[in-house]
Structure 1
Amino acid sequence: MSGWGWPRIIAHRCGGALAPENTLAGLRIAALLGCRAVEFDVMLSADGEPLLIHDETLDRTAGRPGRVGALAAAELLATDVGRPFHPAFGGETIPRLDTALECCAALGLAVNLEIKPAAGVEQETGRVVGRHLAAFPTSRRPAVLLSSFSAAALDAASSASPDVPRAFLVGRFDAASLAHAVRMGCAALNLSRDDLDAVAVAAVHAAGLRCLVYTVNVPDEARRLFLLGVDGVFSDRPDLLLSASPTPNFG
């Protein structure tokens, strides 16, 4: 369960704020910046294909209407999510999970794969993601840490891919969430930076788990969190955090 490597700075939604989110362009930018790990979100199309997208609709990222869970993979895969971000990224489309994994392996990026199920399909989304990971050739698969706010999705993914470490994703630290993560056999508890203190981080570590924190975009805030003992941070501005390294207890 420790094979993920636990990089300290993780590019949020592939390339953070520097590229259209959840795209191959973001992965390439993260690698060029020197990131060793990325986070991305996976949701199912209407026909059950796991694709990289965060929202249940296309409005924000593609600038057009449509519910992800109601559209076939073929249409989603052809959806331009690059141009709404910036014309320079025109033609950048929603990628398949398998394509993103292949890209990460080629770029040497570890992956925090957040299972992001649409409402009502938590178990099915986790099961499909787990099966895809299990079927992906081990020699070509990057290091993967599964995470989700949905315990049902995590459990379903674990049943299909028991060898892949998992992280329970919650808003704020509390004892019940930590206990639930331990019961599920998770390797980490992923937490918001809001109101996080040294007592909470110590409790996570005392339970035998790692502590990853989102979303941290200012070097001074990252430095404060690393002094608290957190194991890694997700960032929309990995460029700023990486340029501030190395400093004590930071990079």
Structure 2
Amino acid sequence: MRTSPAWPCPRWIAHRGAGHCAPENTLAAIRAGAARRYRMAECDVKLSADGVLFLLHDDTLQRTSNGHGPAGAWPWARLSQLDAGTWHSAPYAGEPLPHLTSVLRYCRANGMNLNLEIKPNPGQAEATGRAVVQALRAHWPPDATPPLLSSFQPAALQAAAEADAHWPRALLLASWPRHTADALQLAQDLDCVGLVAEHRLWQASRVQAIHDAGLACAAYTVNDAREAERLLALGVDSLITDAVDAFTPD
């Protein structure tokens, strides 16, 4: 029997905060999504060399900051000094990589929720899953709607569940297993509340099977209006988008 809470996500979720309007995985991006009335931001969480949780998608720093090399090799004192905004556009020059605690505090103060993708550095799936749960227990009110924890790595979701099953979890899929039952069984074994798949993977039979099992469906990254209409017609519960200016979340 599932022990974790129900699906906590609204229909529309801002991808990486609002990563086209502002530098992805920064507080500036989350603020940009909030300004467009999005009530949930998706973002990626990993560990620094000294065990601090911060937002970053890639294993390496150079695409979205002026740092170089593996992100997990840097202590937070150095990571916190990086410029994570200039790569996007001049108005965001100097925007820092955000500490997860700062993100949690901002979202609680501004009525936003989060889809935290556990995006571990190589070999750190279990440690990152446990650390994210510890941060939530310290900084997110237990009586508030909980953030969704998602990951492509079952070990990260399993570690999060073992640390505290209160926080709802979702299995991420970039490709579909040969049988829908295989994906469903893995999600159920991990006590997930839903599956989040690349948008082109969703078909009517898959959505129906997931719903029949009492789980929710979400799609990433949905930036085309016709594709959004197709997915909503199928009954997909939540859509993760970069196009926060194109889709009204209300």
User: In the alignment, which of 132, 141, 155 is matched to residue 129 of structure 1?
Assistant: 132
Give 1:19-98 correspondences, 5 Å limit. 19-98=22-101
- What is the CA distance between 1:4 and its match in structure 2? 5.3
What are the residue-to-residue correspondences of 1:1-251 with 2, within 5 Å? 1-2=4-5, 5-138=8-141, 143-174=146-177, 175=180, 176-242=182-248
Distance 1:139 1:152 in 2: 24
**Partner deviation per Cα, 1:115-156 (whole Å, 9 max, x = no partner):** 001111111111111111122251696630000011111111
* Aligned counterparts of 1:90 and 1:115: Cα–Cα separation in 2: 27
Q: Distance in 1 between matches of 2:16 and 2:43?
A: 4
- Equivalent-residue separation in structure 2 for 1:140 and 1:80 (angstroms): 36
Aligned CA distance change for structure 1 residues 78 and 179 (closer, same or farther; 3 Å): same
SS of the equivalent of 1:191 reads strand
- Per-residue CA deviations over 1:81-120 (Å, capped at 9, x if unaligned) read 1111111011110011111011111221111000001111
CA contact (8 A) 1:105 1:141 kept: no
Structure (1/2) with the larger helix percentage = 1
Contact persistence 1:42–1:53 (CA under 8 A)? yes
Superposition deviation, residue 184 in structure 1: 1.2
Cα pair 2:66 2:82 within 8 Å, conserved = no
Taking the aligned partners of 1:87 and 1:23, their CA distance within structure 2 comes to 15
Which residue of the partner structure matches residue 248 of structure 1?
A: none
Give the distance between the partners of 2:218 and 2:194, measured in 1 at CA. 7
CA distance in 2, matches of 1:220, 1:34: 22
- Residue identity in the other structure for 1:172: S
Structure 1 unpaired stretches of 5+: 246-250
Alpha-carbon shift at residue 30 of structure 1 (Å) = 0.4
Q: Give the deviation of 1:220 after TM superposition.
A: 1.6
- Once the two structures are TM-superposed, the CA of residue 64 in structure 1 deviates from its matched residue by 3.6
Q: For residues 30 and 137 of structure 1, do their structure 2 counterparts lie closer, same or farther at Cα, with a shift above 3 Å needed?
A: closer
More moved, 86-95 vs 140-149 = 140-149
Distance 2:8 2:128 in 1: 25
TM-score (norm 2): 0.92
Q: Percent identity?
A: 42
SS at structure 1 position matched to 2:72: helix
**When the two structures are aligned, how many residues end up with a matched partner?**
244
Aligned-residue offset at 1:37:
0.8
